[in-house]
């Protein structure tokens, strides 16, 4: 078959079918004008070097080679005969000319063949200087086992994993295998994998084979539509990053195995001809000065719930200073559930004088005098989760009151009461009221991971919760009746990296580092059974993940009795520097083989942070491959937990990782000798 060297958009003029989409810059033709063998009622090619038009009853001369190849294809040539055995089209030197009767036959026969012929074509260049990409759903696999659909699930809806929608991708059923011939035309596979939201339940494993060699293993990916008994809320699992280097690869095989899994997605799957572009650091526009980096501070809730007073807050403030936490970057002290029970005759919130005898303004002054900032909790509804007064119906009044107290951070919850109005509007109204005070106030939306990442930034929020409450537990099988484990919270947040960046951040909830002392007050259970509390290794990994993900760092342990080991975790400045890096791109899984993962986070100065993460229950030897990290040459490695330079490495780095440990390195490129500046010889 004749090779095709550019992408083709073929449309059959005069047929009933999909119209062009005038809202899209190219009229929708970037979607090839054909999906699932549909007929299309327009004509265009977006190929840069070959014009292919099917106009009326002829095809331009640029089509002749493809036309001849089609005729030589035995499958399609037999379909070009009508019921009487007569040709429905003539193939000549200047192209292919279907008869009037042959249009329908051509529409049915030519599109699937074109998909096959263009499966190894050159992808479209998005913009000058960028790597070029092709959506996997625009290619027809050469070998198919099982069922698959392009860009739609089996209920004929768009692809959704968790609560994230993907406009492109491939949906398959468990037991499927799709094989693509690449012939070394691509450098990277970039996809998100997970169970489609249309799947009621399932447990599947995604695997990628490059020339029959295993290159990616998602490990078990399960979900269910039945939360555990007593669970108050429920999150569907979001997708996991799948990035696989393809240089030199001729054949790509995608496999999904498991039970159930009636709809599993290779979501937003693309093939790239070069490096996968990084997110634009300025993609969210001007951010102001409030949220250029994620917030750092302390929240009272985890250790004290409602059992604290003004004296406790002052002691915690003093501990933030004396422990070195303030100097490490922790600046906000959050009075998390201040417990307002009444309003005065003018509608102003009245603090409990037994808890706050000096008043809230004096408390804020105490914090400011120590170089700290004052945070306060409220609810965007009329009552808080603890049954105290919220702010709904009093947004402007409460915002002015908070500002008069010197409040610098407002955390707004969303309790279980019926919604007074849609959440995006309610939170936008509260954000508007806070801005109207003229005081720079950090605003946090606590909407329990129920999709606020889609709208919170636009509503005026600086952070938005991606999960339910995080427990002092390493993992939960599913949402428990009191919250989720640290591991699931991190997994749920990785898939939302595109939403985070300067000005607004994904929030997988407060840190539970060092919470072992408060375990009786913060019981972690699943279906009534107590979950194991985290180990010291798991505490370090919890902190590492939050730093790599650019999550807010809001400690919750009792700082007044904090052991030195916990302090050393929370004040690890080398880890904190990753979290506060001004580039603001959250980490993703660059390498995954079951329970062994390597996370990658690019940094502003060109360094790279990586986390070699052993999720398994036993020690493992791990390797971070330069190829999977898309880097080359020599790099200086520094262990950020050992605070030790490890030397120069080329090709990769290997180490032993304990169970549930993340070994975090900062890699700095070593210039090639040929590129190093020449020493000055001076002048004679």
Cα separation, 54 vs 62, whole angstroms: 11
Give yes or no: 184 in active site: no
**Could you give the angle at which helices 486-494 and 536-548 cross, rounded to 10 degrees?**
20
Residue 279: partners with Cβ closer than 8 Å, 6 or more residues away: 497, 498, 501, 585
> Token pair 């070959």 is at which residue?
50
Residue 178: partners with Cβ closer than 8 Å, 6 or more residues away: 141, 143, 144, 145, 148, 170, 172, 253, 254
Spell 487-500 as b/e; 16+ CB within 10 A means b: bbbbbbbbbbbebb
Half-sphere exposure at residue 392, Cβ-oriented, CA atoms within 13 angstroms: 20
Cα separation, 198 vs 154, whole angstroms: 8
> What is the signed CA dihedral for 429, 435, 440, 441, rounded to 10 degrees?
-20
Q: Which two tokens stand for residue 68?
A: 């001849």
Whether 337 contacts 375, CB under 8 Å: no
Residue 581: partners with Cβ closer than 8 Å, 6 or more residues away: 293, 550, 601, 603, 604
Nearest to 590 by CA among 188, 289, 263, 74: 188
Whether 139 contacts 115, CB under 8 Å: yes
Longest dimension (CA), the chain: 98
> Token pair 């849609």 is at which residue?
422
Q: What is the DSSP letter of 649?
A: E
Estimate to the nearest angstrom the gap between the alpha carbon of 56 and the chain centroid. 46
Cα separation, 679 vs 667, whole angstroms: 26
The catalytic position among 223, 268, 469, 581 is 469
Judging by DSSP bridges, how do beta strands 463-465 and 442-445 pair with one another? parallel
The catalytic position among 138, 196, 336, 413 is 413
Beta bridge partners of 217: 207, 593
Give yes or no: 416 in active site: no
Measured on CA atoms in the order 23, 25, 31, 32, is the torsion positive or negative?
positive
Estimate to the nearest angstrom the gap between the alpha carbon of 85 and the chain centroid. 55
Residue 657 has a CB neighbour count (10 Å cut-off) of 21
Q: Which residues have a catalytic role annotated? A: 413, 469
């Amino acid at each position: 078959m004749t090779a095709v060297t550019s992408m083709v958009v073929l449309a059959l003029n005069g047929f009933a079918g999909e119209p062009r989409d005038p809202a899209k810059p190219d009229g929708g033709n970037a979607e090839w004008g054909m999906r699932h063998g549909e007929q299309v009622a327009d004509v265009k090619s977006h190929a840069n070097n070959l014009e292919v038009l099917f106009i009326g009853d002829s095809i331009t001369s640029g089509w002749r080679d493809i036309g001849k190849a089609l005729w030589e294809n035995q499958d399609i040539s037999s379909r070009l005969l009508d019921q009487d055995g007569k040709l429905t089209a003539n193939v000549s030197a200047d192209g292919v000319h279907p008869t009037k009767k042959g249009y329908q036959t051509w529409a049915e026969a030519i599109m699937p063949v074109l998909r096959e012929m263009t499966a190894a074509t050159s992808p479209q260049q998005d913009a000058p200087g960028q790597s070029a990409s092709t959506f996997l759903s625009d290619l027809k696999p050469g070998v198919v086992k099982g069922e698959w659909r392009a860009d739609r699930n089996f209920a004929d809806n768009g692809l959704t994993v968790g609560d994230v929608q993907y406009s492109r991708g491939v949906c398959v059923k468990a037991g499927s295998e799709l094989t693509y011939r690449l012939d070394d035309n691509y450098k990277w596979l970039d996809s998100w994998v997970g169970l489609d939201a249309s799947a009621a339940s399932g447990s599947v494993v995604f695997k990628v084979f490059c020339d029959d060699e295993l290159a990616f293993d998602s490990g078990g990916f399960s979900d269910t539509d039945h939360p555990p008994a007593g669970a108050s809320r429920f999150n569907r699992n979001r997708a996991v990053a799948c990035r696989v280097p393809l240089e030199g690869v001729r054949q790509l095989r995608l496999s999904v195995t498991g039970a159930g899994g009636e709809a599993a997605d290779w979501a937003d799957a693309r093939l790239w001809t070069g490096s996968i572009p990084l997110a634009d650091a300025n993609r969210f526009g001007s951010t102001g000065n409030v949220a250029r980096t994620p917030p750092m501070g302390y929240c009272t809730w985890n250790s004290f719930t409602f059992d604290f007073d003004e004296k406790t807050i002052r002691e915690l403030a003093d501990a933030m200073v004396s422990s070195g936490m303030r100097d490490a970057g922790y600046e906000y002290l959050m009075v998390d559930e201040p417990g307002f029970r009444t309003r005065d005759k003018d509608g102003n919130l009245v603090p409990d004088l037994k808890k706050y005898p000096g008043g809230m303004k004096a408390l804020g002054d105490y914090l400011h005098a120590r170089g700290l900032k004052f945070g306060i909790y409220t609810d965007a509804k009329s009552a808080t989760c603890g049954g105290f007064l919220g702010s709904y119906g009093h947004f402007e009044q409460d915002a002015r009151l908070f500002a008069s107290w010197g409040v610098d951070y407002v955390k707004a919850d969303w309790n279980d009461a019926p919604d007074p109005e849609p959440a995006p509007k309610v939170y936008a109204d509260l954000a508007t009221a806070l801005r109207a005070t003229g005081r720079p106030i950090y605003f946090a939306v606590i909407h329990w991971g129920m999709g606020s990442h889609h709208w919170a930034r636009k509503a005026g929020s600086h952070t938005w919760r991606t999960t339910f409450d995080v427990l002092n537990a390493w993992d939960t099988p599913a949402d428990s009746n009191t919250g989720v484990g640290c591991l699931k919270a991190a997994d749920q947040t990785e898939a939302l990296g595109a939403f985070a960046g300067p000005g607004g951040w994904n929030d997988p909830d407060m840190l539970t580092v060092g919470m072992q002392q408060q375990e009786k007050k913060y019981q972690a259970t699943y279906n009534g059974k107590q979950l194991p509390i985290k180990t010291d290794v798991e505490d370090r990994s919890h902190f590492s993940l939050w730093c790599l993900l650019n999550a807010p760092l809001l400690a919750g342990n009792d700082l007044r009795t904090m052991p030195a080991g916990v302090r050393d975790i929370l004040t690890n400045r080398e880890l904190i520097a990753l979290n506060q890096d001004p580039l603001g791109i959250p980490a993703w899984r660059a390498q995954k083989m079951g329970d062994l993962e390597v996370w990658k986070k690019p940094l502003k100065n060109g360094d790279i942070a990586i986390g070699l993460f052993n999720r398994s229950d036993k020690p493992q030897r791990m390797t971070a491959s330069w190829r999977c990290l898309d880097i080359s040459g020599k790099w200086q490695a520094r262990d950020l937990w050992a605070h030790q330079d490890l030397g120069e490495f080329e090709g990769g780095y290997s180490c032993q990782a304990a169970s549930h440990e993340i070994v975090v390195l900062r890699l700095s490129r070593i210039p090639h000798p040929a590129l190093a500046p020449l020493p000055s010889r001076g002048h004679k």
